Amino acid sequence: MYAAKTLPEKRKDMTLHWMDHLLEMASVREDEKPVIKLGDDLKQCLPSCFDYCSKITAYHSKSFSMASGLLGKEKRDAVRALYAFCRTTDDIVDMSSAQQAVLLNRWRQDITESAIRFNDPVVIAWADTRERFMIPDRYIRQLIDGVEMDLYKTRYENFHELTTYCYGVASTVGLMSMHIIGYRDEAAIPYAIKLGVALQLTNILRDIEEDWDRGRIYLPLDELEAFGIDESYLENKVNDARWKNFMQFQISRTRQLYNEAWPGIDMLSSDGRFAIAAAATFYRRILNKIEQKDYDVFNHRAALSKWEKLARIPDLVVKYRYASSLNSLLS
């Protein structure tokens, strides 16, 4: 069996400090709170706008749709508006067009405007959500900047670089979700960052083949080298001992991030813990699916069925729904 070389000391050093870098990125000033003007005519169409966002969520992400369905209506509508904003941003980057950068810049301007002047259901629903839950503009811009990286960056030298990308496209979503769901205090922020990184790493490990077909590799190059792997492995779909060892290392680290992020769920408002715990649980189980397929992500896309997701619900109900109800009775 092939044993990985010792990873470079420089990479180890950088890995120790990636959280410090991301915490600095997540720091919000008081003057970054949104001030939004949504006219009465646009407010009247909010129900249909939120319904449109719910349909986008249901179509593109059954896991997110199911998890967000565990929230009350106001917060459910808001997180689905968040999803629709993220989905639209992602779709612009993934479209086959020479105008991607121009369209993304236009979208960046439209989605962060203070005065909403036109009838786009996602923009309207998201504007109402931003104002209602005081979501900092910083996180919105960071998400768009993170997604934009796909236009010019297709390789990541090390884990530090990769976590910056993961923060932009995933941790920002967690931070914005916290504002919607509610949280105890700023001590929850590091947990939200780690959960976002864990979720995105799970996406990366699941979608290696799909990303390769798009010309992208989101696996740290120095870690691939340390395990004796080059790009020919992805091109030829090689699933040998080296690849299995590499994937075991990646899955182990991602599981550790889930473990470290999990205590942050208890720092959220009680009515939102169940939904976030469900989303994290569904995604974490994807790692098990990869293992069950013997790490062959080239020919098998790891996914949970609806019934496999439902099977995880009872334990979460006992831990979060029952505990929340009991706490309400005792308070």
How far is residue 105's CA from residue 115's CA, in Å, rounded to a whole number? Answer: 17
Residue positions counted in the chain? 331
Mean pLDDT over each residue of the chain, to the nearest integer: 87
pLDDT-above-70 percentage for the chain: 88
- Residue 319 pLDDT level (bands cut at 50, 70, 90): low
* pLDDT, mean of residues 48-67: 90
pTM of the model: 0.87
Of the two residues 310 and 252, the one the predictor is more confident about is 252
Counting Cβ atoms within 10 Å, is residue 30 exposed (0-12), middle (13-18) or buried (19+)? exposed
pLDDT per position as a tens digit, 285-310? 999 999 999 999 999 998 877 777 77
pLDDT per position as a tens digit, 23-55? 999 998 776 777 677 777 778 889 999 999 999
pLDDT-above-90 percentage for the chain: 65
Which of 61-70, 238-247, 272-281 ranks highest by mean pLDDT?
A: 238-247
Q: What CATH number is given for 1-33+135-331 in this structure? A: 1.10.600.10
- Residue 117 pLDDT level (bands cut at 50, 70, 90): low
Q: In the structure encoding, which two tokens stand for residue 101, read together? A: 């950068």
pLDDT per position as a tens digit, 268-280? 998 888 888 888 9
* pLDDT, mean of residues 83-111: 89
- Residue 62 pLDDT level (bands cut at 50, 70, 90): confident
pLDDT at 318: 61
Domain ranges in the chain with CATH number 1.10.600.10:
1-33+135-331
Closest CA to 166 of 22, 265, 15, 287: 22
Q: Which residues fall within 8 angstroms of residue 79, CB to CB, at 6 or more apart?
A: 68, 71, 177, 180, 181, 275
